[in-house]
Structure 1
Amino acid sequence: MSSRTLAAAREPGSPVALLLPGAGYPVTAPLLAWSGAVLAARGWHVEAVTWSFDARSGEGDPVPLIEEEAVAARESARAVGARGPCVVVAKSLGTLALPWALREGVPGAWLTPLSTDAAVRAALGDAGPEHLVVAGDVDSFWQPAGLVTRARVVTVPGADHGLALGDDWRASLAAQSDLFERLDAWAARVES
């Protein structure tokens, strides 16, 4: 397991955020790095995971390892005194942790979830309003047709799997900035 603390909680009872990366999208990439910054600014403990398996190899089922990494990251945060409620902020491959999060009662912000995966899709159907889902409408992994969920869903028009809008960097930046505002509002609801 490999995780590192990006931000220590201001108070022992502050929420703990576990950042779970994508296969080729590390926690230092914009969507996760800025999400971590938003939560750190709120005084949260932010624990960032680096996969210790080759997520791109396609060999074997990554779900048990992803769940183990999420549990280990939560334990790492607890070991340094972070005692607040736990949440997940996951991108792409990291969203395979959604069924685990539901079993554990852990709310999450699910960025570009793999709704083409049967377990993730079923979990999205069971997710409540304490979950935030953000996806682009030209993301081939986002298949909202027929999906019924109580989660807060934001679909970004024209955005791909990286929540980018083609080669229009200004529009991409604006869309991603909106995501971080929504994440901040979601975090405020988690705190209350």
Structure 2
Amino acid sequence: MTFGGLPTRWEPPERSRGVALVAPGRAYPPSAPLLDFARIALLQHGFTVQQIWWDSTSRGDEDPDAWVRRHVEAAHAAEDADHVLVVGKSLGTRAASYAAERGLDAIWFTPLLVEPVVAEAIAANPARQLLVGGPADELWDVAVARELADAGCDVLEVADADHGMGTRDAVRTAEVHLEVARAVDAFLRAT
């Protein structure tokens, strides 16, 4: 399966231990660094990776939670796997209610913690979750992140990271992405 000539599905070299559904951001495709490093880590840890590609401008007036949910639900319905993990970036973190209802493990990059519906859905999910963000991101709420950490979520908060998990410095941005890759690797080792 491809999207614009790019592959959307990858299989691990050995038997798959589950499927990861990757829900991108509004303007952050699955091929962008955070999600691509996650894809590599997921494959390394034995997951099949199914990326969801979308054109968020096609959403129109549809509620963003319902729109994201519809895409993730369709991708999930196409899978026959006992273990499903959701990976979302920004807009894709609106899949948190879907993941919570099904008790799916999740990795949330720059979750929209200022949106009560997203924060409450993450809090309601009994499964393992990793949240990645930084206080330089106006959509990251430090207090909510601490509450979620206290409730059992794994949280990587990078002090100088913005919504793209970057900074104004190229080397520091690469270092931030390395921190994120290490956190994802550690999370997947324990999943």
TM-score bracket for this pair, using the shorter chain length: 0.7 to 0.9
Aligned partners of 2:25, 2:92: CA distance in 1, in Å? 5
For residues 114-134 of structure 1, what are the alpha-carbon distances to aligned partners after superposition, in whole Å with 9 as ceiling and x for unaligned? 011111121233345710000
> Which amino acid is 2:189 matched to?
A
The aligned residue for residue 156 of structure 2 is 154
Aligned residues: 183
Whether 1:60 and 2:58 are equivalent positions in the alignment is no
Three-state SS of the structure 2 residue aligned to 1:145 is: helix
For residues 36-68 of structure 1, what are the alpha-carbon distances to aligned partners after superposition, in whole Å with 9 as ceiling and x for unaligned? 1111122210000012552675x2302122112
The aligned residue for residue 76 of structure 1 is 78
Identity of aligned residues (%): 29
Specify whether residues 48 and 97 from structure 1 end up closer, same or farther in structure 2 by C-alpha distance, changes over 3 A only: same
CA RMSD across the alignment: 2.2
| Superposition TM-score, scaled by structure 1 size | 0.86
Three-state SS of the structure 2 residue aligned to 1:50 is: coil
Specify whether residues 142 and 55 from structure 1 end up closer, same or farther in structure 2 by C-alpha distance, changes over 3 A only: farther
- Where structure 1 has 5 or more consecutive residues not aligned to the other structure, the ranges are none
> Which amino acid is 1:91 matched to?
K
Three-state SS of the structure 2 residue aligned to 1:54 is: helix
The aligned residue for residue 134 of structure 2 is 136
**After the TM superposition, which residues 31-180 of structure 1 pair with which residues of structure 2 at under 5 Å, given as runs?**
31-51=34-54, 53-54=56-57, 59-78=61-80, 83-128=81-126, 130-146=128-144, 148-149=147-148, 150-166=152-168, 168-180=169-181
**After the TM superposition, which residues 17-28 of structure 1 pair with which residues of structure 2 at under 5 Å, given as runs?**
17-28=20-31
Three-state SS of the structure 2 residue aligned to 1:22 is: coil
